[in-house]
Every structure is written in C-alpha cells, then in structure tokens.
Chains A and B, each alone.
Chain A
C-alpha cells in the first residue's frame, strides 16, 4: 500500500527527531535500554495513531508529548507497584560521590566539569517528575518555549515559571556544591527560592 503524503511527512519527522527524542529519553531514564524502548514505543504509538492526529499542527511537540506521557506512566507504575521486582533498574549518577578538592588544586578541568555535571544530574533526580520533564525537554532538545508549551499542553508562561522554579532549585544545589569544593566563598549570597505564586511573563 502506498504511503500518503502525510505519512511520508510524519516518517520524515521521525527521522529528523529521532536523535533528539533518544537524548530526551536517555536524559529522563539515564538507562540505555529504557531510552531505546521509550523512543521506539513513542514512534510506534505515534505511527499507530497518526490517523487521529491534528494534521494542521506540527508533529514535533506531539512526539514529545507522547514520550512525556509514556515516561510519567512508567514512573507512576513503578511507584504504584513498589513490591514488584524492578527488572530494569536505571543507572543513576551517584549523588553521594566524594567531593572534589578545591578548584585551585584541580588541574583537569574536564574532570571537574564532569563532576559538576554529575552533581547537576543528581540534583535533577531530586526534582519532581514534572520539573525533570520540562528541564530535559528544554535542555536536551531544540524545542522552543512555544513548542514545549504545546507538548505539555499548557501556556508559555507556565513553561517559563516551571523552568524558573526548577532551575532555581538546581542553581541552589550547584551553589551549595560550589561552596563545598571551594569555588564560591561561603559568604556569597544564596540564590533566591521562587514562591509558588510567582508567574513569569514578559
């Protein structure tokens, strides 16, 4: 059966987005196998339901919405059945890793950056699942705020406030870490925690 024009466009979208989708999946799960499963299942579900998709809208946010929902379902399922075996443990960074020595003694900048990145990943692990999704959707893909809003089905202002709230938490954690390793003085100001009623809009 010949593929329709919209099918070909969707297939092309898959090909264009597959790397970014996989990176997004990996960033959420930190597990190679789960990332592949999530990516493949996302594409499979999208392909199955292509007939019911709004053809007038870009497929890109829709793909990320499917993946986000799959991931949150997976997390909910894991929380709902804690007594069951987890065959596919995610490999998460070690948050209790020994701290690096003060920066003045660190000669290998790459190693320091790697530790800093691990600290960021550990901090992301401590965020709420919705916050992790918005952070990773913005950081691991090329989605603009408007596209993230479409994927999350919320206003752009909500995306901005969620990003601000999540990144402030990460920044607080990083600042604390930076003090521990000696790249920030202990009397430097703490980042300001956002309040729940703060709404970002320009």
Chain B
C-alpha cells in the first residue's frame, strides 16, 4: 500500500468523513492519520464543522402543514405546460414582453375572471422568479405617476395607507402571460406584507369565500389560498384582492382599514 501524502489526505478529508470514498482509499487515509498529528488536527477541525452543519440542519424547519396542503392543491389544478411555451415564457423578460405586446392588464380583458388562487400563485411567482418591475416609494403621488406611465389601468393609490400599514411601493408583474399590478404594504410594527390588486372584472371565487365582516356597505370575504390569505371586497367599480402572508384575521383587518 503506497503511503499517502498530507495534501491528498487534506483534499479527501470531507469525502472521508462523508463515507464517499472507496474502502482502499479510506484505509490509506486511516493509516496516514495514525502517524500524522497535523492531519489528525485538520480532520478534527473538519469534523467540528460537520457537527455544526448537522446542528444547523436540525434547526432548519421542516415543511409546514399549510405548505404541504398548498403543494397537494397545486398538483390537483396544474396541468403540464408544453415545453416550447414554457421556454418562451421563461426566456422573455417581463418588461420586454410588456413592451412587445403592449401593456396587457386584467382591465383590458373584461372576460378575464380570475380566482384567488391565480393571484396567490402570481404573488408567489413574482417573488421567486423576480419577474417584476418595482418602484420603491412611500409617496402616493409618485406611485400614481409611475402607474400612469407604465400601466393605464392600475389599482388606485389611496392618499394615505390603511392605518397600521406602511406604503412600500408598487409592482408590475408578469406571470403566465398575464400582467398583475399591485400596491405593496408592510405592517408598521411587523414583517407581514400584503399585496393589493384590483380588477374591474368580477372575481371568480369571491362568492365562495365566507363573509367575515361587512362595513360601509362593503362585503369582505376571506379565504385561505395556498400559503397566503386572501380577502376581497368591492370598490372603485371593481374588486380589490388583498394577498398577505399573515392569518385570515389580519387580512380582514387590512381590508376593513382599506374600506
């Protein structure tokens, strides 16, 4: 058996600890370690690191129950996308697509009646894929100006945010061939966020949501959809849809404060 050099042992130390090398090489490393305190010390340091990484793994949370439910739900409603169409969708940058096809928004197609799941899915895809144009501003006038330049029919920007929320900015997102415009808020004293959409057309599953509360002649309906909560209410001649990453009660609170 040829003796192994320190460089080789050092190079293979991670694979050695992970049991990812063949038996002969493993024996040669063990043989070397018996007579080399420097490599033993290095291996101990590597082992310390591996132990720490295992603890970090133990700290990492498993998938929450609501995420499992959402993924199961996705499987029931999502059909396979043809390859070429999928490739086209991922190749086109959202802004280029908007320029090429003109600004297409829900309001341009009154027949586009979407369900809460569409908004939640879009909300998630924008964040993951980053396929969005965003403007950071807490100035409603600046946001309104941005909307007028980029999307002729966008959610109206209130002069002041709902009590307890901070205006973060606006997003123009593109997903699945649809463009979605939203106003972004964040809780004053928390990390929870909410995206406020608006559509002049009807909202497919609005009537399926239970009525949580009704104020000012508006009906707020709320229902969980995936990992987010959704509230919807009629206003501005259409329907507002709020998608948040917080519990139903909080999204209803947001809705009530927005009325």
Contacts and interface: CB of A to CB of B under 8 A. Distances in A.
Interface string B44-69: 01101100111111011111100110
A78 B130 contact: yes
A100 interface: no
A48 B80 contact: yes
Contacts of B46: 167, 171
A40 interface: yes
A132 interface: no
A152 to B, nearest CB: 15
Contacts of B226: 40
Interface string B188-228: 00000100000000000000000000000000000000110
A189 B128 contact: no
B74 A202 contact: no
A23 B12 CA distance: 26
B70 to A, nearest CB: 6
Contacts of B48: 174
A44 B134 contact: no
Interface stretch (B14-22, B97-105, B229-237): B14-22
Interface majority SS on B: helix, strand, loop or mixed?
helix
B116 interface: no
Contacts of A117: 52, 55-56, 59
A200 B15 contact: yes
B81 A23 contact: no
Contact of A74 (B7, B42, B129, B133): B129
Nearest to A7: B75
B142 to A, nearest CB: 12
Given A19-B63, A81-B130, A139-B53, 20 more contacts: A19-B62, A23-B57, A37-B127, A39-B67, A43-B74, A44-B121, A51-B83, A84-B133, A85-B168, A87-B127, A87-B134, A87-B193, A120-B49, A120-B56, A144-B20, A145-B18, A174-B52, A191-B42, A192-B10, A202-B21
Interface of A: 11, 14-15, 18-19, 21-23, 26-27, 32-41, 43-44, 47-52, 70, 73-74, 77-78, 81, 84-85, 87-88, 113, 116-117, 120-121, 135, 138-140, 144-145, 160, 163-164, 167, 170-171, 174-175, 188-189, 191-192, 194, 198, 200, 202
Interface of B: 7, 10-15, 18, 20-22, 25, 38, 41-42, 45-46, 48-49, 52-57, 59-64, 67-68, 70-71, 74-75, 78-81, 83, 86, 121, 124-125, 127-131, 133-136, 168-169, 184, 186, 193, 226-227, 245
